[in-house]
Amino acid sequence: DQQVKQNSPSLSVQEGRISILNCDYTNSMFDYFLWYKKYPAEGPTFLISISSIKDKNEDGRFTVFLNKSAKHLSLHIVPSQPGDSAVYFCAASEKGAQKLVFGQGTRLTINP
């Protein structure tokens, strides 16, 4: 039972354009959501997070949007840069719990 789903295994975007990565969840008890970026042979690096009481959080080029009624969140990267090429994971946790439930990841490729 996959509680967090990233339905696009890969995404290719031109440098300078917007990258939009999507994530859906099924567990209504999730109240905190995070995005991580991962390069091969490295651990995931935290990018940005959002609490369920908000619908948007912004940090520089990265913005996360949360639609609780649709159980959907998305990560926007503007403008996309070659260094953004990596695998992006969406993760979620229940209130007070340290356990993160991860999606399967989306491989983002930024083309020059």
Partner 1 sequence: KAGVTQTPRYLIKTRGQQVTLSCSPISGHRSVSWYQQTPGQGLQFLFEYFSETQRNKGNFPGRFSGRQFSNSRSEMNVSTLELGDSALYLCASSPGQAFAKNIQYFGAGTRLSVL
DSSP label of 84: G
Q: Smallest distance, Å, CB 15 to partner 1?
A: 27
From the list 11-19, 56-64, 73-81, 103-111, the region that binds partner 1 by CB under 8 A is 103-111
**Best CA proximity match to 8, nearest among 65, 89, 96:** 89
Site string for partner 1, 50-69 (x = CB under 8 A): -x------------------
Q: Which one of 53, 69, 70, 96 is in contact with partner 1 (CB under 8 A)?
A: 96
By residue count, the chain amounts to: 112
By CB under 8 A, residue 89 contacts partner 1: yes
Residue 40's Cβ-side half-sphere holds a number of Cα atoms within 13 Å equal to 3
Q: Write b or e for each residue in 38-64: b if 16 or more Cβ atoms lie within 10 A of its Cβ, otherwise e.
A: eeeeeebeebbbbeeeeeeeeeeebbb
Binders of partner 1 in range 21-50 (CB under 8 A):
32, 34, 36, 41-46, 49
Nearer to partner 1, 83 or 96 (CB): 96
